A and B are shown apart, each in its own frame.
Chain A
C-alpha cells in the first residue's frame, strides 16, 4: 500500500499556472483511509475547513510551523555543512572556467539551506544563491526571513519539473522522496540543461534503520502531529540507491555518483546521503578538489 505524506495532500497547486487549487478535506481523508493510514486521516480530519475545503490560510500557517520545526532537524544533522563540504570543492573546480556561478535550491521550503550558506559566506561572494519552491506561502516566509537577517539570497516560485531558473548547480534536500520512482527521471532530466554543470540532491538514506531513526528523531524534536507523521512516512518512502542511480541516467549529459552511500558508510551515520550529477569534464577536477573525501564519491 502506498505511503502518503499529509503535507503533499493538504495543499495543491495547478502545475501549469502555479495557482492554488482548493482541496476538499473529505477527499484527503478518504485517500488516507484507502492507503490504510487511519492516524493520518485523523490528523487531517481535525484540520480547519472553509466550507468543505481545507482552510488555505490555516494550511499555510501549519506548513510554515512544520517547516520551522523541520529546520531544527536540519540544523542538528548539519545539513548546511554537508552541502558546503561538496559545494566548496565543486565551485572551486567550476570557477576555473566560469565567472558567473548560480546555485539554485529546488523545493527549498523556508530556504534554510540557501539562507544558511548565504549567512556563512562559505561559498564566496561571487556565488548567487537562489531558492525555489512550488508553495508560495513558504517562499514568502523564506523571503521574509532572509530580509530580516539581510542575507544575500533570493527566493522564487518555480516548478521542479519545469525549471525556469537557470543554475550552474542545482541542489535539493529531502525532496526526492516526495516524488514517485517513475517521476524521478523527469526530475533529473529537467536539470540536464545548457549552462548547468552539476547537481547535488540529498535525501534520507533508505536503510532498515531509517524509519526507526526517523520516528525517534521526529518524536523527540517535533510538536506538530503532521510533522511527526510525515517524518516517518518520508523515511518509508525514501528511494534506495539503485532506484536513484537508475533515475539519474535520464540526465544523459551527466555522470552520476552517490556520495558515501550506506554500503560504504557506518549506517548509523548515513542518515542522509546525496546523489551527485557532474558534467564529465568536471569529474577529475572535482575529485582533485575533494581531496581525501573523493573516496566517498561512488560512481553509478
Chain B
C-alpha cells in the first residue's frame, strides 16, 4: 500500500491531466480532421499534470525528510491517499465506462451517454475532486495530509484552465 497508493494517485492525476488538456482544446478548432491537434493538447495537459505532481511531491519529500518521525507521517499520508481513492476510483470507473459506451454504442445511444454521463461528469469533476480532498483528510490532525490534499487538488483542477489560457484562448 505504501507504494501502490501514491502510484495509483499519480497515474489517475496524469490520465486526468491528459483529458484536461484535450478539454482545454475543444471548441477552438472547427476543422474536420483534428487528431494531431487533440493529441498535442493531451500531451500539453499531461506535461502540466506532471509538473503539478512534481510541485506537490517535492515539498512532501522535504517535509518528510525534516520530520522527527517520517514513517508515521508517511503512513498518515497513505491513509489519506486511500480515502481519496475511495472517492476517485468509482468516479474514474464511471467515466471510463461512459467513454467506452460512447465509442461502442450506435450513434443515437451514444448521444444518450453524452447527455446522462459524459456531460454531467464534466460538470461534477471539480466537485468530486474537492470532495475527495475533504474525505481524504477528514479526521486527520496532521497538517501535512491537509496541505498535500489541497495542493494536489488545486494542481489537478488547474491543468485545464492553464492549458486553455496558454494555447487555446482563440479559435485556430
Partner pick for A65 among B32, B119, B170, CB 8 A cutoff: B170
Partner pick for A213 among B107, B108, B115, B122, CB 8 A cutoff: B115
Say if the beta carbon of B171 comes within 8 Å of chain A. yes
Query: Contact: B111 with A112, CB < 8 Å?
Result: no
Query: Contact: A216 with B29, CB < 8 Å?
Result: no
Question: Among residues 205 to 237 in chain A, which have CB atoms less than 8 Å away from a CB atom of chain B?
Answer: 213, 216-217, 219-223
CA distance A76 to B122 in the complex (A): 14
Q: Is the interface of A mostly helix, strand, loop or mixed?
A: helix
Closest to B120 in A: A216
The 0/1 profile, CB within 8 Å of B marked 1, for residues 6-35 of chain A is: 000000000000000000000000000000
Query: Contact: A268 with B32, CB < 8 Å?
Result: no
Please indicate the chain A residues that have their CB under 8 angstroms from the CB of B28 in the complex. Answer: 68-69
Question: Among residues 251 to 293 in chain A, which have CB atoms less than 8 Å away from a CB atom of chain B?
Answer: 265-266, 268-271
Query: Contact: B108 with A269, CB < 8 Å?
Result: yes
- Given A82-B107, A220-B122, A220-B123, verify A268-B116 contact (CB < 8 Å): yes
Query: Contact: B26 with A221, CB < 8 Å?
Result: yes
Query: Contact: B107 with A81, CB < 8 Å?
Result: yes
The 0/1 profile, CB within 8 Å of B marked 1, for residues 111-136 of chain A is: 01001100100000000000000000
Say if the beta carbon of A159 comes within 8 Å of chain B. no
- Number of B interface residues in the complex (CB < 8 A): 24
Please indicate the chain A residues that have their CB under 8 angstroms from the CB of B75 in the complex. Answer: none
CA distance A112 to B27 in the complex (A): 13
- Given A149-B33, A217-B119, A220-B120, verify A76-B27 contact (CB < 8 Å): no
Kindly provide the distance from the CB of B113 to the nearest chain A CB, expressed in whole angstroms: 10
Q: What class of interface size applies to chain A in its complex with B?
A: 35 or more
The 0/1 profile, CB within 8 Å of A marked 1, for residues 107-145 of chain B is: 111111011101110110000000000000000000000
Please indicate the chain A residues that have their CB under 8 angstroms from the CB of B26 in the complex. Answer: 72, 221
Of residues B29, B107, B122, which shows the largest number of chain A Cβ atoms within 10 Å of its Cβ? B107
Query: Contact: A119 with B33, CB < 8 Å?
Result: yes
Say if the beta carbon of A186 comes within 8 Å of chain B. no
Say if the beta carbon of A39 comes within 8 Å of chain B. no
CA distance A268 to B115 in the complex (A): 8
Closest to B172 in A: A68
- Given A217-B115, A220-B120, verify A149-B171 contact (CB < 8 Å): no
Say if the beta carbon of B31 comes within 8 Å of chain A. yes
Query: Contact: B33 with A221, CB < 8 Å?
Result: no
CA distance A268 to B114 in the complex (A): 10
Kindly provide the distance from the CB of B26 to the nearest chain A CB, expressed in whole angstroms: 5
Kindly provide the distance from the CB of A118 to the nearest chain B CB, expressed in whole angstroms: 8
CA distance A110 to B29 in the complex (A): 11
Query: Contact: A221 with B27, CB < 8 Å?
Result: yes
Say if the beta carbon of A3 comes within 8 Å of chain B. no
Say if the beta carbon of A88 comes within 8 Å of chain B. no
Say if the beta carbon of A249 comes within 8 Å of chain B. no
Please indicate the chain A residues that have their CB under 8 angstroms from the CB of B170 in the complex. Answer: 65
Query: Contact: B122 with A269, CB < 8 Å?
Result: no
CA distance A69 to B172 in the complex (A): 12
Say if the beta carbon of A78 comes within 8 Å of chain B. yes
Q: A76-B111, A76-B114, A268-B112 are in contact. List 17 more A-B contacts (CB 8 A).
A: A67-B30, A68-B27, A72-B26, A78-B107, A78-B110, A112-B32, A141-B30, A151-B32, A216-B119, A216-B123, A217-B114, A217-B115, A220-B118, A221-B27, A221-B122, A266-B112, A269-B112
15 pairs, A vs B, C-beta closer than 8 Å: A65-B171, A68-B27, A68-B28, A71-B30, A77-B111, A78-B110, A112-B32, A119-B32, A119-B33, A148-B31, A217-B114, A220-B122, A268-B116, A269-B108, A269-B112
Interface residues of A (CB under 8 A from B): 64-65, 67-69, 71-72, 76-78, 81-82, 110, 112, 115-116, 119, 141, 145, 148-149, 151, 213, 216-217, 219-223, 265-266, 268-271
Interface residues of B (CB under 8 A from A): 26-33, 107-112, 114-116, 118-120, 122-123, 170-171
